Amino acid sequence: MQAFKNPVGLVNMAEKRDLVSIADLTAAENRLIIQRAREMKSDSSPRPLAGKSVALLFEKPSLRTRVSFDVAIHELGGHPIYLGPEEVGLGTRETAYDVAKVLSGYVDCIIARVYSHDQLQELAAYASVPVINALSDREHPCQIMADMVTIQEHKGGLEGLKLSFIGDGNNVARSLCLGLPALGASFTIATPRKYERYDLDEESLNLSRQRVKQEEFDSVDVVAVEDPVEAVHQADVVYTDTWISMGEESEAETRRRHFLGYTVNPALMAKANPGALFMHDMPVHYGEEVEEGMLDHPQSVAYDQAHNRLHAQKAILEFLLAGN
Ligand code: NVA
C-alpha cells in the first residue's frame, strides 16, 4: 500500500493509526486536526467516509459521544453500526482479540467506549483497522480534541494559557494533562491529596512534561496541588468533571465526602483570570462538582464543548480514515 497525503496535509504511513491516547498524536498533528475541525464546522461537503462502515462498540451509557459520532459518520458519508452493552460482552462473552479480528473484516474503524483501558489497547493491537477511544477508565481523547477546538474559538489559541482542573484525576483530567501542555498551555490540577487515589499519576504528569520539552516550550508548567483556590490563580480556563465516574457508583457517598470543598461555583471563578472560561465535559452532577446553574454561567462554554464533539470527531475520522 502506498503512503498517502490526507486532507489535513500530513503524510500517513500505510500502517493504520489509532487514537487510544491523546498522546498518540504529535503536537503538529493535534494542531492540524483542530484546524480541520474548525474548517469542517463551516463546510459540510467533505465525505471521506463514503462507502465505509464504522462500529460503535459501547460498554457504558453515552449521550454526546454516541450521537455526535453517529451524526459525524453519517455526514461524512459513512455507515455507523451501534453495538450496545448487551450485544458484544467484550472480555466476557468474547475476547477483545476475537472482537478485533472479526470486526476488522466488516468495518473500516472501531470506536469503543470501555471500562478497562487494557481492553481498548488489546482491541487496537489486534484490529487491522483504526481504533478510537470513546472513553476508557484512563482517557477521553475525543472530548479533549473538542475542548481544544472550543478554547481556540473563545481564546484565539492555546499557547500561553493556563487551564486549571478541579476534581478527580481521572480519564478527562489525564487526557487534558497529556494534550494541552504539548500545545503550549500550562496545566494545574487540584485534588484532595490526602486521599492519594484521586491524584493524577506521576507517570502521566511526567509524560506531559516530556512532551512540553520536546515541543521546546520554556514557560509551560504541569503542576499538581491540593487547594482549588491556589489552582485557579491566573487560570484562563477552569475545568471540572464528575467526582463519580461511570462504574464508580458504589463509591458515591465516600467520594462526595472526600471532594467536599472542590465544587466549582461563581466564587471560585472570580478567583481566576477575568474572562476565564468554565468548562465541563458532562454529564453534570449538579450540587456536587458544580453548583446548580453553573453551565449557564456567563463564562461557561460547556454546551459549546458538547457541540464541538461533532466537528472534532469528523476531523479525527478524516485524519484516521481518509485515503485508507
Ligand atoms: N469521568 C467521566 C467522564 C464522562 C464523559 C466518566 O468516566 O464517567
Domain membership flag for residue 87: yes
Q: Ligand 1 centroid to 268 CA: how many Å?
A: 22
At residue 12, the pLDDT reads 44
Structure confidence at residue 141 as a pLDDT band (50, 70, 90): very high
Q: What is the mean pLDDT of residues 276-305?
A: 98
- What is the pLDDT of the chain when averaged over all its residues? 94
d(CA 305, CA 73): 19
Cell numbers representing residue 105 in the block: 473484516
Q: Ligand 1 centroid to 246 CA: how many Å?
A: 6
82 and 168: one domain?
no
Q: Enumerate residues 6+ apart whose C-beta is below 8 A from 86.
A: none
As beta bridge partners, residue 111 has: 56, 132
Nearest CA owner, ligand 1 atom 8: 245
163 and 272: one domain?
yes
The enclosing H or E element of 59 equals: none
Q: How many domains does the chain have?
A: 2
162 and 300: one domain?
yes
At residue 323, the pLDDT reads 67
- Pick the atom of ligand 1 nearest to 137's CA: 7
More confident residue, 322 or 167: 167
Domain membership flag for residue 188: yes
Residue-wise pLDDT tens digits, 5-37: 444 444 444 689 999 999 999 999 999 999 999
At residue 44, the pLDDT reads 86
At residue 1, the pLDDT reads 31
Residue-wise pLDDT tens digits, 237-283: 999 999 999 999 999 999 999 999 999 999 999 999 999 999 999 99
d(CA 198, CA 193): 7
171 and 300: one domain?
yes
Per DSSP (E only), the strands in 156-274 are 162-166, 186-190, 222-225, 237-240
Domain membership flag for residue 257: yes
Angle at 283 between CA 171 and CA 293, to 5 degrees: 125
- Pick the atom of ligand 1 nearest to 143's CA: 5
CA 35, 39, 42, 46 torsion-angle sign: negative
Nearest CA owner, ligand 1 atom 6: 245
Does ligand 1 have an atom closer than 6 angstroms to the CB of 242?
yes
132 and 157: one domain?
no
- Residue 32 maps to which CATH number? 3.40.50.1370
Residue-wise pLDDT tens digits, 73-125: 999 999 999 999 889 888 888 999 999 999 999 999 999 999 999 999 999 99
